[in-house]
Chain A
Amino acid sequence: MTPAPTPHIDPAKTHLLKEYKHDSPLLGCRFDPSGQFVFAGAQDNNVIRWHLDSGKKTLLTGHKSWVRALAFAQRRGEEKKGKEGEKRTSQSSSPCLLFSADYAGRILAWPSSAEGPKPAHTLEAHHGWVRALAVSPNGSRLASCGNDHLVKLWSVPDGGLIHELAGHACHVYNVVFHPDGKHLISADLQGIVKVWDLAKGAIERELDAKILYKYDPSFRADIGGVRSMALSADGTLLACAGITNVSNAFAGVGNPLIVLFDYQSGKQKQLLRPKTPFQGTAWGVVLHPTGFIAGVGGGNGGMLWFWKADNAQDFFSLKLPTNARDLDLHPNGRHLAIAFFDGAVRIYSLEK
């Protein structure tokens, strides 16, 4: 799994490369910036680290609830990687911190490559679930969001609270930093995407992803939300993933959808849907540096889809062994990690 500078990528040739197993369903997964490890958050409250070459499995134990959000901050601040975006091609192997967050409102910071990782510090971050984390491009700030309707900014070096951004009216599901370092993007249950001016700590504008939300009058409940969010490396495209066309909230009867925005104008550029009908939610999305978009879904099984930005229908899809719950792109751009309900992280190769 050594990073290669000039990958020969062909999504239509995607195939399973490796599989790493845990004995509890997984919720989220991320490669570390060095590309040596893949991390996953699980329903047994553990974070699991696998060394990609050796397969060595290490448990990071300390959370009190389920873990989905993972993000890395490199101490020298060269290359950073947020939960939902900022996919880079870092070759760095410098020490870095892993931030993991749980549904009990806590964020733990870990030395990500240590032999027996212990939490370096703990943040009592949110009231209720922490849904997502992201690290700023210069590595100095951590953003978190959660069920208390808040987005919070933290100092990476000391874990101090820098700013609390209030403005969402419901659970905040995702957060990413824009590569310009001046803006933060957050998205919520109701599909409202807010762009924050970090210098002012104020909302600059809103984008409309409400197609990913519905209030189901039969069940009297909210369904949907921006379940995954990613930016292109140049910051021109923003993708929000989730479920749409919901006809039965409590059975999850609906279809996956990725709303692709032109970030500058804030307008929807494309609604990316599976070509073959699929019932479920798009739980993960990444934008590949070569221009295609990959998404995974779970519902009645699992699927991996690939789209081009100018076409609403996928140009290739791959049936997965079971429900997929998250997706990440390796720093080398050649591999995808997918977290599954069956406790596995599977690594897929995009190479010809």
Chain B
Amino acid sequence: MWCSYACGSSEHNISRRGFFATALGGTLGALALDPLTRPAFTHELNKQQKRVLMIWLHGGVSQLETWDPKPGTKTGGPFQAIPTSVPGIHVCELLPYTAQRMHHLALVRGLNTAEDDHGKGYYLMHTGRRQEPAMKWPHLGSVCAKLLGSSDNPLPGYILITPRGNGGVNSEDAAFLGPRYASVALSDGHAPANLDRPAALTEAADQQRHEFRIHANQRFLRSRRTAQTEAYTHSYDQAAQLMRKRDLFDISKEPPTVIDRYGRHDFGRHCLMARRLLEGGATFVKVMHTNYDTHHENFDFHIEQLGEFDRPFATLLDDLHDRGLLASTLVLVLSEFGRTPNINRNYGRDHWSRAWSIALAGCGIRGGSVSGKTNADGTAVTEGQVNGGHLFHTYLSALGFNSKKNFYIEQRPIPIADPKAAPIKEVLA
């Protein structure tokens, strides 16, 4: 289902106000009275604004080499399990930095998504639903852009930092929510193109051009207003505001020591950009780390890839925590699926969705908790089995939404999350 018209009516407009279980009003009212408190107010508002960071480990990271190690078993592979900052919880030795932040993290070890295809697994983990011929569901990023975003935020509601690709907008991600909530990809962490005003264009001329465009748009919209035209118009306003925030995309503004803490490789740079964007008011930032599709040489490749993941991720958690933002930022570490407990003849692990794990942290999450359990060799879930629908409910609940609510599209109620599932209470604060 596509969005045919975004009229802003109460039926269509699923506002933050309608879904937040907690209110900002008290804080806003009290702080807004005193202009002298403005910096503190901005800081406080930023802490109150809820946001999401998704780290996407592309290709299917191995649960046995991350969150659910099984050393000394036939399926365990060569790595050891190491203790974490939470007594009794162990993770794979490939995550020494993350292990020391386990008190921030919750592990879901009972995941059975029953979907071993890359594309379908990707869809399921982004939407909380299986693909259906007659229905396209919005990505979590688009849902959050809709529910958490505000119209005066110049940053795109759903920002995707990819290690490659062409960048740009992918409207399909937003489905019926409309293109305004689509993902905007920053290829290789580069800022959106043309953020700087052309040198030959004066500020005054630029303003005149802007005003003329608004005039023409308003005339056009009187008779031909659609969700697409509205998004088109909005994108110009957003772009103008975005140009004023272009420094957010420039990690060279950070001290060299900070860049070094994250690492000067792509994922390190992208995590640092994510922190700058989240700190600068972004609603949903997804950082993709590729690749984990290790049918061959699973162990060598996980050494390399997780060696790149571990420290920047831990640094990002630290920075969010130190800035007081972690409590209002939901952090997700996801993948399309896990990898087979069985080790194939090429030292590889194949696709495996029957018993795997993810990690959560931050907003609404009970740090140091574990939900679900797998058997001794990791081939099956033995306790607390959940699927992608449960995860989607959990994310929404962690952000303070009632996940049983509906979107209303043309007065038709559409459940935001799969009605057959429910939040995973063990990992919620």
Contact = CB atoms under 8 A, between A and B. Distances in A.
A65 B73 CA distance: 10
A222 B293 CA distance: 14
B163 interface: yes
A129 B297 contact: no
B189 interface: no
B290 A219 contact: yes
A184 B290 CA distance: 37
Contacts of A43: 74, 78, 343
B301 A250 contact: yes
B79 interface: yes
A35 interface: no
Contacts of A221: 291, 301, 304-305
Given A24-B74, A220-B266, A221-B305, A322 B293 contact: no
Interface string A92-113: 0000000000111000000000
Contacts, number: 67
A229 to B, nearest CB: 17
A329 to B, nearest CB: 24
Contact of A147 (B74, B295, B303, B348): B303
Contacts of B194: none
B294 A65 contact: no
A250 B346 contact: no
The secondary structure that dominates the B interface is: loop
B345 A220 contact: no
Interface string A247-285: 001111000000000000000000000000000100000
A218 B301 CA distance: 13
A304 B314 CA distance: 46
A323 B345 contact: yes
B296 interface: yes
Given A44-B74, A65-B78, A104-B80, A219 B293 contact: yes
A45 B343 CA distance: 15
B80 A64 contact: yes
Interface in B290-327: 290-291, 293-297, 299-301, 303-305
Contacts of A223: 297
Interface string B44-72: 00000000000000010000000000001
Interface in A319-351: 322-323, 341
Interface residues of B, number: 25
A25 interface: yes
A220 B303 contact: no
Given A221-B304, A222-B304, A251 B72 contact: no
A139 interface: no
A347 B266 CA distance: 47
A129 B93 CA distance: 12
A24 B76 CA distance: 12
Nearest to A254: B296
Contacts of A280: 346
Contacts of B345: 25, 298, 322-323, 341
A188 to B, nearest CB: 13
Nearest to A25: B343
B72 A45 contact: yes
A65 B74 CA distance: 11
Interface string B312-352: 00000000000000000000000000000001011010000
A103 B295 CA distance: 20
Contacts of B301: 219, 221, 249-250
B59 A250 contact: yes
Given A25-B343, A64-B80, A219-B290, A251 B295 contact: yes
Interface in A25-63: 25, 43-45
B25 to A, nearest CB: 46
B74 A66 contact: no
B32 to A, nearest CB: 47
Given A65-B78, A104-B80, A220-B291, A252 B348 contact: yes
A299 interface: yes
A298 B304 contact: no
Interface string A196-223: 0000000000000000000000111111
Nearest to A66: B78
A252 B297 CA distance: 8
Nearest to B308: A220
B295 A250 contact: yes
Given A219-B291, A221-B301, A299 B74 contact: no
A250 B293 contact: yes
A128 B300 CA distance: 11
A25 B345 CA distance: 8
Contacts of B296: 249-252
Interface string B280-295: 0000000000110111
Contacts of A129: 78
Contacts of B297: 223, 249-250, 252
A333 to B, nearest CB: 30
Contacts of B163: 220
Contacts of A222: 304
Contacts of A323: 345-346
Nearest to A252: B296
Contacts of A45: 72
Closest A-B pairs by Cβ, 7 of them: A252-B296, A103-B78, A66-B78, A219-B291, A323-B345, A341-B345, A65-B78
Interface of B: 59, 72, 74, 78-80, 163, 266, 290-291, 293-297, 299-301, 303-305, 343, 345-346, 348
Given A220-B305, A221-B305, A249-B297, 19 more contacts: A25-B345, A43-B74, A65-B78, A66-B78, A103-B78, A103-B79, A104-B78, A171-B300, A219-B293, A220-B266, A220-B290, A221-B304, A222-B304, A250-B291, A251-B295, A298-B346, A322-B345, A323-B345, A323-B346
10 contacts: A43-B78, A64-B80, A219-B293, A220-B305, A221-B304, A222-B304, A249-B296, A250-B293, A251-B295, A252-B296
